[in-house]
Amino acid sequence: MTAGNVKHVTHTEPEFVTVRSFDAPRKRVFDAWTKPELMAKWWGPKGFTVSHSKMDLKPGGIYHYGLKSSDGQVIWGKLTYREIMAPEKLVFVTSFSDEKGGTTRHPMSPNWPLEMLSMITFEEEAGKTKIIVRWSPLNPTDIERQTFIDGMTDMEQGWTGTLDQFADYLAKA
């Protein structure tokens, strides 16, 4: 699946990139990113569990999720799909949301970019799959751009925790 007129995404914003390899075939890894019942088993940073997982996997469709912290707080988020190229790439806009799916500000960082452009690529390498995560602010204000740049260390910790949970899921599945 791919959006009819989206061929290539270009932007000039600062970009966060992280790369990780997993001991699993690309189709299995891609499926775990594109099936809500599988995402519910691993999505989110360490210390959070998925309490809501609903997906409409198509360009313009949304993955709406709730992440529950160990103290019971639920943080809502959504991915709005722009491009789906199974099993090679996903492009989506990431944002925080409310329980109904409306876009909201980051609950703990009001200057965080309202929307993030996310591109996840899945590359085969000798029976394993390398995931490359590219994340950048989408149409940010100057303060949102700077908050993104200043948050690189936190993003590394968050994505490391999420990808650690993903690795644990793959090892157990």
Tell me, what CATH number does 83's domain have?
3.30.530.20
Q: Is the pLDDT of residue 3 over 50?
A: no
Residue 6: band (very low, low, confident or very high) from pLDDT cuts 50, 70, 90: very low
Let me know if residue 12 belongs to a domain. no
- pLDDT value at residue 2: 40
Let me know if residue 35 belongs to a domain. yes
Task: Quote the number of domains for the chain.
Answer: 1
Let me know if residue 76 belongs to a domain. yes
- pLDDT value at residue 13: 87
- pLDDT value at residue 38: 97
Q: 104 or 1: which carries more pLDDT confidence?
A: 104
Tens digit of pLDDT for each residue in 32-77? Answer: 999 999 999 999 998 899 999 999 999 999 999 999 999 999 999 9
Average pLDDT value for residue range 9-34 = 90
Residue 150 belongs to domain spanning: 25-172
Let me know if residue 6 belongs to a domain. no
DSSP-assigned states of every residue in the chain: ---SS-------S--EEEEEEESS-HHHHHHHHH-HHHHTTT-SSTTEEEEEEEE--STT-EEEEEEEETTS-EEEEEEEEEEEETTTEEEEEEEEE-TTS-EE--SS-TTS-S-EEEEEEEEEETTEEEEEEEEEESS--HHHHHHHHHTHHHHHHHHHHHHHHHHHHHHH-
Q: Is the pLDDT of residue 96 over 60?
A: yes
Q: Is the pLDDT of residue 7 over 70?
A: no
Let me know if residue 11 belongs to a domain. no
Tens digit of pLDDT for each residue in 137-168? Answer: 999 999 999 999 999 999 999 999 999 999 99
Q: Is the pLDDT of residue 133 over 90?
A: yes
